[in-house]
Amino acid sequence: MKIDVKVPAVGESITEATIGTWNKKSGEFVKRNDVLLLLETDKASVEVVAENDGVLTILVEAGQTIKIGSSVATIDSEAKATVSSASNGSAPKPPSPTASVATPVSQPTMSTASSHTPSAGMPFSPAVQKIVTERGLDTNGMTGTGKDGRLTKGDVLTAPTKSAKPTAAAAEPMFAKSNAPTKQGDKKLVPMSTIRKRIAQRLLESQQTTATLTTFNEIDMTKINELRAKYKDKFKEKYGISLGMMGLFTKASIEALKFVPAVNAYIAGDALEYHNYYNIGIAVSTEKGLMVPVVKDADQMSIPQIEMAIRDFALKARDGKIGIDDLSGGTFTITNGGVFGSLLSTPILNTPQAAILGMHKTEDRAVVINGKVEVRPMMYVALSYDHRLIDGKEAVTFLVKIKEGIEEPERLLIEI
């Protein structure tokens, strides 16, 4: 019996997807629930699994963009395999983790998973395969810290290089070398991924459809740094994660949103849509582009719960497991360019949201405290907002509330 492998519906607004990678080869015998391929939509990556046992025949190669519901392969339960799953063909045989390593806007240190022996026959993700190929690594006997013992990007980055000779893939630069000298005008065209095209479209829409304005303030991080230093060991011992800044900034943002409801609202046609719930989007940078998973009902969560939710999103983004539901329903977004060293920036609105908070690098600066010049760890914060909905007074008030919550963290405990 032969069945079609079709592109599944992954969201109401998504009409097409791009085949990122095939995890199986054409002619290979696959089992039910084996991951066949990774789809890239304009919002997230989606795994497609086999619905029954049989021999796979690939109809559409990686890199092709297809409509939702289209057939990309067939599985024949009566056919005989022409390609061994143990052979290396075009697909790698060692274990795999995920497609991308995420950089969350916060600095939570992810808890270290237990090492497992990698499962044989599992394909690499593109990110891991690239590193293995470039470094000439021998993955036999390597242990992985990912799910089911899969190798993560971190595993292969820290592994010793066993091959002194670079492979062909490692030797290939973006601009191919030749005997002729490289010309300054050389260029290479790389097609945009589905996710990157959607990011570009949304950023342009945000700039063209909102009256965006940005206001700034600065925060003395002394007490927060002291708090984190004092309790970091006990916090990690109890919860398995480090006490980052994002949980504290999220809590401070929620109190500010309660005080200035317009910042948590949308423009809905000719009406204003206010939200009596707090779904906080956390901007996450991945190899495929920026994603904003949403911590839903964050006001009902403790700081440790928020930190764990952010850690889980970072892991899911790293493993290419972020789903459409994870990215939907946000009412306010926080982004932290400080993890990349940014000192100051004006973040772009994540429409239809009316505002976004930008965190930045903490840097020692001379400030005047009670008439005396002191060196304090300071952070600039920025609030970009839609001026059609939020007035300057409300934006400034919002940032002042954030500043109060971070500079006096006891306020977050008693919610004032």
Catalytic residue IDs: 387, 391
Beta bridge partners of 383: 215, 357
Q: Which of 187, 157, 163 has its CA nearest to residue 175?
A: 187
Beta bridge partners of 216: 382
Q: Provide the token pair at 344.
A: 């100051």
Beta bridge partners of 104: 284
Q: Provide the token pair at 302.
A: 């403790």
User: In Å, what is the CA distance from 409 to each residue of 1, 153, 402?
Assistant: 64, 36, 10
Beta bridge partners of 384: 214, 356
Exposure string for 325-334, b = 16+ CB within 10 A, e = fewer: ebbeebbbbb
131 contacts: CB under 8 Å, gap ≥ 6: 137, 153, 156, 157
Where are the alpha helices (H) located in 136-278, listed in sequence order? 153-157, 168-171, 194-209, 222-239, 246-259
Q: What are phi and psi of 358, to 5 degrees?
A: -110, 120
What single letter denotes the amino acid at residue 123?
P
**Is residue 45 classed as helix, strand or coil in its secondary structure?**
strand
What single letter denotes the amino acid at residue 190?
V
Q: How many CB atoms lie within 10 A of CB 252?
A: 26
Tell me the C-alpha distance between 404 and 57, whole Å. 61
CA 6 to chain centre: 26
Give the H/E segment covering residue 372: strand 372-386
Spatial contact of 277 and 262, defined as CB atoms under 8 Å apart = no
Tell me the C-alpha distance between 385 and 354, whole Å. 6
- CA torsion 338-340-342-347 (nearest 10°) is -80
CA 21 to chain centre: 19
Q: Provide the token pair at 118.
A: 């990698």
